[in-house]
Amino acid sequence: MAAPTSARPSTSSFWADADRHLVRYAGAGDFTREIIARAAGSYLYTEDGREILDFTSGQMSAILGHSHPEIVDTVRRQVGELDHLFSGMLSRPVVDLARRLAETLPDPLEKALLLTTGAESNEAAIRMAKLVTGRHEIVSFARSWHGMTQAAANATYSTGRKGYGPAAPGNFAIPAPDSYRPDITNADGTLDWERQLDLGFAMVDAQSAGSLAACIVEPILSSGGVLEPPPGYLAALRRKCRERGMLLILDEAQTGLCRTGTWYAFERDGVVPDILTLSKTLGAGLPLAAVITSAEIEREAHERGYLFFTTHVADPLVAAVGNTVLDVLHRDGLDVRAAELGAFLRRGLEGIARRHPVVGDIRGRGLLAGLELVTDRETKEPSSELGARVTARCLELGLHMNIVQLPGMGGVFRIAPPLTATEDELAQGLAALDQAIGDVVAAG
C-alpha cells in the first residue's frame, strides 16, 4: 500500500486519479475536463488561468456569487465560535434564521426545520404531510425533480427512475403544464391547462386507494425544462388539493429568495402553500435547507410523534450563513435587482432568438430563464446533439451553461446567473451564447 501524499499531482495524474477513484453520476458521468482552482463573483478560474463566466450560479445555488466577502467573513467567524451541535441543542443563529424566514413569508407560515439539502427538506415535508393527514399517496408533476432520497426520488419523474426497482406505492404523476409543447389545447392551439389539470386529477382519482396526502410541485419546473405554470394554475391546483383533503407542498429550491424577481415565486399567484421547502438559494452555495409550515400543522405533527432529523439538523455554522444571505438580500434589494436584470437578460435572449431560427422558445421569470433549441421552429423538432454542441462551444468561449435534455425536447438551457451579476457580465454571457449558436449552426 502506497503512503498517502498531499503533494499536488500533475494534471494528467489528477484526471487519472479522478477516473480511477470517483463514482460517476449525472447521466453519462463525464466531468468537465477543467480543474477549477477558485471562484469569485460571477466567475470560475481554472488551474491554467482560464476565466469562465458562471451562468448557473454553481448548482443553481450561489445567488450572491462565489466567495461573497460577507459570506466568507461569516464562515470564518462562526467556524471559530460554534460550528456543530447535538441535535437537541439550540444556538442563536438557528432561532434567528427561523424567525427571520417567517418574517419574509405570509401567514400562517412560521415554523421552520433547518436541514442541509433540497432532497432532505422535501423528504421531511413529505413525511410530515403523511403523518398529519394519516395518508400516504403523493402527487407531483411528470417533469419534476425533488431529490434523490427515497420519498423525494419517488416524487421525481424527470429522470432517474429506471433500473432501481419499483417506487413506493401511492406515487402519481400529473402532466406538467408546457405552454410551448401543449398536449391538450384550446381551439387556437394554446395550452388548455384547466382541462389538462382536470384530466390529471381524474387519472389520480382513478388510481388512488383513497389515501391522498399531498401534492408537491415546483412553482417553476427547472430540471423539467424551465416550465412556468400559467397564471391561475397554482390556485386551481390548490383547490384540487383542498377538495381531496391534501396538503400543498411548494418546492422553491431554485426559485425562492428573490431569484424570480419576488422573494418567493408563489407570490405571483397569491397562493400560500401548506408546507414550503427551501434549499439551494438559502445557503447561497453552502448546504442549508428549510421546511417551513404553519403552527397548526407543526402542532399536529408533533402530537403524532413527528420524527425527522439528520446529523446536521439545526447546525449553527450554516444557519449563520443563512442569516447573512438574508442580510444581503434585504440590504441590496436583490428582489428588485433580479427583476431588472431579468428584463435585461430576457431582451438579450429575444435578440438571440431573432438572429437564430434554432431558438424555439424563451421562458422563465427574473434571473431563472430557459432557452429551448430546436431544428425547426414550425415542427419544434428536437435535437439533443445541437444542445450538446452549443454547450461545448460555450465552454470553449468561456461561458458555463447547463442544458436539460429530456425525451421529446431539443434541449433547454437553464440560465441562472448570480443575483449580484452586472449588466456587463450578462452582456458578456449573451454574446458568448450568441456566438456559440452561430458557430455550431454554421459548422452544420
Three state DSSP letters for the chain: CCCCCCCCCCHHHHHHHHHHHCCCCCCCCCCCCCCEEEEEECEEEECCCCEEEECCHHHHCCCCCECCHHHHHHHHHHHCCCCCCCCCCCCHHHHHHHHHHHHCCCCCEEEEEEECCHHHHHHHHHHHHHHHHCCCEEEEECCCCCCCCHHHHHCCCCCCCCCCCCCCCCEEEECCCCCCCCCCECCCCCECHHHHHHHHHHHHHHHCCCCEEEEEECCCECCCCCECCCCCHHHHHHHHHHHCCCEEEEECCCCCCCCCCCCCHHHHHCCCCCEEEECHHHHECECCEEEEEEHHHHHHHHHCCCCCCCCCCCCHHHHHHHHHHHHHHHHCCHHHHHHHHHHHHHHHHHHHHHHCCCEEEEEEECCEEEEEECCECCCCECCHHHHHHHHHHHHHCCEECEEECCCCCCCEEEECCCCCCCHHHHHHHHHHHHHHHHHHHHHC
Looking at CATH, the fold of the domain delimited by 33-62+333-443 is given as Aspartate Aminotransferase, domain 1 (3.90.1150)
Give the model confidence (pLDDT) of 368-415 as tens digits: 999 999 999 999 998 888 999 999 999 999 999 999 877 766 689 999
From the candidates 111, 135, 259, 280, give the one annotated as an active-site residue. 280
Whether residue 162 lies in the annotated active site: no
Whether residue 435 lies in the annotated active site: no
Whether residue 414 lies in the annotated active site: yes
How much of the chain, in percent, has pLDDT values that exceed 70?
A: 97
From the candidates 192, 251, 269, 298, give the one annotated as an active-site residue. 251
Q: How confident is the model at residue 28 (pLDDT cuts 50, 70, 90)?
A: very low
Class of the CATH-defined domain 72-331 = alpha beta
The mean pLDDT value of the chain amounts to 95
How much of the chain, in percent, has pLDDT values that exceed 90?
A: 92
Looking at the chain, the domain(s) classified CATH 3.90.1150.10 span: 33-62+333-443
Higher pLDDT, 168 or 8: 168
User: What pLDDT does 406 receive?
Assistant: 74
Whether residue 405 lies in the annotated active site: no
From the candidates 111, 238, 337, 414, give the one annotated as an active-site residue. 414
Give the model confidence (pLDDT) of 419-433 as tens digits: 999 999 999 999 999
Mean pLDDT along residues 277-281: 98
Whether residue 15 lies in the annotated active site: no
- Which range (254-263, 302-311, 410-419, 432-441) has the least confidence? 410-419
pLDDT at 330 over 50: yes
Looking at the chain, the domain(s) classified CATH 3.40.640.10 span: 72-331
- The model's pTM is 0.96
Whether residue 207 lies in the annotated active site: no
From the candidates 78, 254, 405, 428, give the one annotated as an active-site residue. 254
pLDDT at 248 over 50: yes
